[in-house]
Structure 1
């Protein structure tokens, strides 16, 4: 997609006439005869229109330049003499132009294959070369900028006229414009369409097609031709509600199951932790008890030593092994010098051991209490885990299985009903095609070829996008938009756009082109990426002997206010340029790229118009 950045008029010895635009929403408002509408004519001229009708103030300017950017931030500038002729293309901004540039034609003539604005600008916008059917015989032509001009360049007359926004003024050659809309909506062109054939060949082809259609209809007729089958309920509201209810219940059960599983995992972790603690406590108790036994053994040994020291006095008098003297009482190496210290040492050591043993007994009691506590905690966790597993396996699992099975049954039923609906619609389409073929074969002369229209799916999504735009604009009630393939225009709430007054026709035209732009951007369809709308809120008045049929039909003030508010939210990926006599609300003007042409009464800090002149330029 592409966007306009600058529009410039240049002439020798003249101050440049320059207007800049940005991504998203742009509003150019101002007094009448200030050159606003002339800007749209400049865009149309640079895109290949044959002639640029210059207003008096613009006649001295010799060249028009328009600078474009695309989604890849690349730049291309097209320059064309205001008198007409070829276009020069530069792949740089206006400020960097030098040399002669690439010479291209505004449009191709005859069988020319040379470069033109379409062949340069559409690839720049990411739109591939395409072919569109141009007549009932199946001949094709190029998809060009000129083919879709009315879908992105909307002047102040067309916006309120009763003509189709797609085909413009009624002509005999509007097939390509109709197919262009289909190409934008689907992204599929008519490259494979073959030109018309001889009468006999066409009839033979139609008969073969009729035979195939009849063969395809046979099983469907058996199923859908009876009136009873056609009255099968197609309202799936109750079924969808039940599916939604079961889906919610299944999600709740799954959430409960996950919570129980998480609690089970936590309980298992706590059991493992308790087992680890019990193992440590029991190991420590075992060691403490061994230590207690060791203390008992030590005390017994000390008692023996203490008692044995009394027997030193009863020993016989024998020579002292130290001095070889008789060990009489009072002898320095005698028994009475050894027994007393040994007994005292044994008693002191026993007292220490008794103290240690008292502490050890207290520690053993504490460990035994802790052991009982941990065993109690483990038993509680074991009970909880068994309860969780029971709830999971006996209660929750069966409910999950039942709900899942019931949901699958309902989804299968919904799928079957949807398949039936699709087949019924296919049967109706085939019946219509059968009738069309029979009608073509019954006609005298060359039978008309049967061409597919715009696919209903894409057409429905396009209408839904227009409905969304109208809802943003506070259209009365809930808008219902349909597309009439006979008039190639929209019907809103059952009333054709052409049947409204001028003001409402303008609003609906604007909703159509903005909806198409949003649809194309959202679905990556072949659209230039910008729209320029002149006076969507101001009913056109008689000017230069031009009149527009129909009632004035002023728009609702709430719609106008909502229009500006919605415009301010335009995505930066696209570009919407609104040219208006009406000034937007102050708070809205601050949220868009807003420019005001003050006209003859312009103050020193205001811009008079597009052309830099002291007198106000003509529109």
Structure 2
């Protein structure tokens, strides 16, 4: 490849030198014509006027310039002739190099063909060698994995020993992890405001009990209410947490999923939860479903609420609340089976 590249470079230079030679010859012809013209113009001309015999200054100056031009043309011709000689010598040397390189290139091609033939004969041996090499590489890879595992075991054993030697950290009381009183008070205040906005029956006084880690509403723990009341109070807990985070600039993903918050409005005959309890009956008599959904719409700027419920959206809210129906196994063509199935 190196020889072929050198041959190509020489051939390109020879082609360029031929163009240069043609330029030199054209320049010589042009300068020769220029010299001859100057000679013919000035021959036998003394610059004298045929009438008065004087030499006009302008004619004298023109003749001087013609002579200078002729001398310059002669000098330039000599200079180009010397360059032509140098160019010719260079062409001869390059052509000799080209011939030698062509001969060497041919010799290398013959050697390459012989090497190709030897390689073809050795292919079976090379395949056997490759197979052996592949086996060795596979063994090496297994050893490297074993060594890596050994190093990791040693590392973790050392860490374990260091951990065992360290003093046991002191135990913290549960109170050390409690939220600050201001945060709890703000959360309870928000919780109470939500209950008032959704028109939940009662005075809606909210406290937080650290023993059960849940809210107490009007002196009654949330978990002692009926299924429907517990459901809506659980949803209010999630909503209050979102609003608390927004007010205190605490991170919240902004998506709240509520599962059956309005289960109070279930059919007591067909529902698996059975008949309504007393507090659920009171709640069912109110328009809490309307107030609850309308309140969520009013705070929609703080997050997105996804409600999974079995009740119909009140007519007055259908225009502002997006609603999708899932038909389950009874779904027909074009109807959604469920949340993740279409």
Q: Place the TM-score, normalised by the shorter chain, in its bin.
A: 0.3 to 0.5
TM-score relative to the length of structure 1: 0.24
Query: TM-score, normalized by length of structure 2?
Result: 0.43
Greater relative CO (CA pairs within 8 A, separation 6+): 1
Whose strand fraction is larger, Structure 1's or Structure 2's?
A: 1
Q: Which of the pair has more CA radius of gyration? A: 2
